[in-house]
Amino acid sequence: MNNPMDPLGLQVTQNLNYTVVAQSATEVQDVQNSPVISMGPYLIASEQTRLLTTLSVYGVRGGSRDQVRLLYMNAVALRIWKEMGMQPNLVGSLPRPPHGALLFFGIPFSE
């Protein structure tokens, strides 16, 4: 079965999937590596504010120096993050963010 495309050309799926992005201690020290700080201004500058209602980024504290922060990004957020020139360290994917994760940027997870 083919998934329909939305008006922005993004593939629409019934199951929202979140990609897990690990950020190291070095990455976290650069505030531009925080979606809370950098993603909004990027969307405004690139005239993509319409995506604010479709992207979702959650985060939790990681457990090691290589994974100080874990970000859970839906497909739209991950695409924007890469478009911004970020090089995410992808470490997995989940159907939804974990219960303890906090919404960092965008809209809440919804089924």
Q: Tell me: the pLDDT tens digits for 66-111?
A: 999 999 999 999 999 999 999 999 999 999 999 999 999 999 976 5
Q: Tell me: the pLDDT tens digits for 33-46?
A: 999 999 999 999 99
**Which amino acid makes up residue 66?**
D
CA distances from 94 to 41, 47, 75, 76, 84 (A): 27, 30, 12, 15, 23
Domains in the chain: boundaries: 18-106
Q: Among 104, 72, 77, which residue's Cα sits nearest to residue 90?
A: 72
Determine if the pTM surpasses 0.75. Answer: yes
